[in-house]
Amino acid sequence: MKVTDKKRLIRAALVGALVATTAASQAATSPPNAGTGKRPNIVIILGDDLGFSDIGAFGSEIKTPNLDAFAATGVRFTQFYTHASCSPTRSLLLSGVDTHRNGLGNMDEWTAPNQMGKPGYEGYLTDRVATLPQLLKDAGYHTYMAGKWHMGKAPNLIPAARGFERDFALLDGAGSYWDMRNFTAATPLSTFTEDGRYLKKLPKDYYATKTYTDKIVSFIEANRGDGQPFFAYVSHQAPHDPYHLPRAWRYRHVGAYDKGWDAVRHERLQRQIELGITPAGTELSERMWFLPDPILLAPAPRAILGKKMELYAGMVENMDFHVGRLIDYLKTIGEFDNTIFIVFGDNGAEGTDLFKMIAGTPGTRDYLFAAINWSQTHPNAWGDPGSYVGYGPMWAQASMTPFSQYKGYVAEGGIRNALIVSGPIVKRAPGSINHGVLHVADIMPTLLEVAGASYPKTVNGQESPPLMGKSWVRLLAGEEESPRSGQEYLAWELFGNRALRQGDWKLRWQYRPFGKGEWELFNLADDAAERRDLASEQPEKVKALVALWDDYVRTNNVILPSRVLSEGMEKKLPDRYPVEAGYPPLIYKRQFIPPANMMADPK
């Protein structure tokens, strides 16, 4: 329905009179572009399992010209934090409230027995929190969503019930890009909605990345010209496995990754230093101890593993292409220059073999289901319907250059990601880089301030949980370098792994073998790769940070799980020893060649 500027202002005033505002929203009584008489559109482009170094502007060899264009006109942020996995990050993005309060204290798929039925562990975004689309809609924005949801499937939990005016959504955490095929016998089909209705089937020409873009464009076009700004949440499934993509996109990097993951990591780090993403002298994280040195592999297996990375690179480039289609459309209708773009990945790159975890062992129901429905295992069929390819921990580490570990863990490789912001709210130098500490929960207060909207005092008759984020408006205007002081802290807990950062100090506790099963301490200012545990050298710092952690637990009702994904992992993996270049010399020594003038035939 069309709404005039006058009606929109009246509605915003009524909302403001009915709810109390946070400090951030109070500062927004004059939105950043109020003088223009037109509020900006907002587009969030979210990559699923997109790694820190997978965008060209962050050091990648993968060609991402459209995402790089945002970086050239906007700002890149190098210390932006998400959560360690999909749905927790999405819940933070759309609520601004800590996961242990908003319902995603654990992923629905892995809720531990002692967490079941407890507030904060429902496995979906609860009605105790207001959502960003709800509040923007109340403030006069159109609200559109296309792509992966992963925060509930019941009618009261789907995008249409949480504030999105139009939607085309995959409700599951992953699935085929070509059809409704899902992963287990208990859930053989993925669930989709369109405009609040559950779909019986998908469009005939469905391909996830293309269709999501088509839908967002169609939503914007349907209401174009009515005077209302729009909020578009483009929640791409790409480049989450399985790596499905059209054939034309599968062969753009043939042979490029046969050199192996170590070489790619070193090359990316060098480009990051040249770009100013990381300072000179930055070290790479240690190669995971259970991974081989790629130069020791025979040519055939190295090529097969390289082909997996070729497909991943094609997925990222295909996503970038469809981002370009959206950009072209917005330029055509004259809305591009009045649109804020926020681009990032939802967590670290995926290094776990998800398909193996789901399918299980021979003789089980899900193994049979996988053998029947995901049977296209020949490398020539990779990318087709019925194929399942993920690229493994070796390439996940490359995607997360220079950080340690990957998705699912609270090392930097699991929770730090690339962020680009561009558009009319950005007043910093085009192409600039910022090293302030940011968090995905900051997006809620930032966009409420941009829209001139308020955060409610109550939700469904209950007091609203506090927003944990900080607005970026002054940061983007160039008036400050970070939205938070060095005394404020951020904290994470997922699958029992936990971390806390205050200033440059990071406290980390992870189950063995990815951690020590005790608190570790790192100074990220000179050790972003988390190579040097300083806990034994700085016991007082550990004690001080543990006190902050205990405060976080009490404040947010953190319930550490009684069952975790790390169970049995230490026995399945080889013993952990340091990885050092050239050790042991035995397997790196080349054939000794005597001096030619000393060679002789036997007497």
**Active-site amino acid positions:** 86, 150
Give the whole-angstrom CA distance, residue 475 versus residue 27.
14
Q: Which residues contact 576 (CB under 8 A, 6 or more apart)?
A: 289, 290, 513
Report residue 344 as tokens: 């990032």
Amino acid at 143: T
Length of the chain as a residue count: 603
Structure tokens at 134: 């709800």
d(CA 65, CA 71): 10
Please name which of 390, 356, 392, 384 lies closest in space to residue 244, comparing C-alpha atoms: 384
Distance of alpha carbon 325 from the chain centroid: 22
Cβ 320 vs Cβ 252: under 8 Å: no
CB atoms within 10 A of CB 362: 8
Which string of DSSP letters, residue by residue, matches 400-448?
TTTSSS-TTS-SHHHHEEEEEEESTT--SPTTEEEEEEEEGGGHHHHHH
Strand order in the sheet with 416-422: 197-198, 192-194, 166-170, 142-148, 230-235, 41-47, 339-345, 416-422, 75-81, 432-439
CA 223 to chain centre: 30
Separation CA 588–CA 593 (nearest Å): 15
Please spell the DSSP secondary structure of 575-586, one letter per residue.
PP----TT-SGG
Total Cβ atoms within 10 A of residue 424: 18
Whether residue 513 is preceded by a cis peptide bond, meaning omega within 30 degrees of 0, is: yes
- Letter for the amino acid at 366? D
What are the residues whose beta carbons fall under 8 Å from the beta carbon of 157, sequence distance 6 or more? 124, 125, 151
Q: Which two tokens stand for residue 323?
A: 């981002």
Whether residue 299 has a cis bond before it, omega within 30° of 0: no
Q: How far apart are the first and last CA of the chain?
A: 101
> Can you tell me the distance from the alpha carbon of 409 to that of 494, in angstroms, rounded to the nearest whole number?
8
172 contacts 358 by C-beta, under 8 angstroms? no
